[in-house]
Amino acid sequence: MRPMTRDGTRRTGSSRRIFFVLLTSGLLMRAHTPVPSEKRPPGAGTPPVVAMALLAALLSASVASSAVIIVAGDCTLVDAMTAANTDAPAGSCPAGSGTDRIVLTEDVALSRVVSTGEDGDSGTPVVTSEIRIEGNGHVVERLPGSPAFMIFQVAAGGGLSLDSVEVRGGLESDVGGILNIGVLALSNTTVADNKGGPAGIENRGTATIRDSTVTGGDGGNSGGIGNYFVHLTLVNSSVSGNEGSN
- Residue 15: C-alpha distances to residues 33, 39, 141 (Å): 9, 12, 40
d(C-alpha 146, C-alpha 144), whole Å = 6
pLDDT in tens, the chain (246 residues): 444 544 544 333 333 322 233 333 344 433 333 333 333 444 455 555 555 555 555 555 444 467 999 999 999 999 999 999 999 999 999 999 989 999 999 999 999 999 987 678 999 999 999 999 999 999 999 999 999 999 999 999 999 999 999 999 999 878 889 999 999 999 999 999 888 877 889 999 999 999 999 988 877 666 678 887 678 999 999 888 777 665
Local structure of residue 94 (DSSP, 8 states): P
d(C-alpha 31, C-alpha 1), whole Å = 42
d(C-alpha 189, C-alpha 88), whole Å = 28
Q: What is the pLDDT of residue 40?
A: 42
d(C-alpha 20, C-alpha 231), whole Å = 13
Closest CA to 234 of 25, 16, 19: 25
Closest CA to 137 of 189, 212, 186, 102: 189
Buried b (16+ CB within 10 A) or exposed e, 91-129: eebbebebbbbbbbebbbbbbbbbbebebbbbbbbbbbb
- Residue 131: C-alpha distances to residues 62, 81, 97, 165, 185 (Å): 12, 8, 10, 14, 10
Neighbours of 35 (CB within 10 A): 9
Local structure of residue 214 (DSSP, 8 states): E
Helical segments of 71-136, H only = 77-86
Does the reported pTM lie above 0.85? no
Question: Residue 115 contacts by C-beta under 8 Å, 6 or more apart in sequence?
Answer: 11, 121, 122, 124, 125, 126, 153
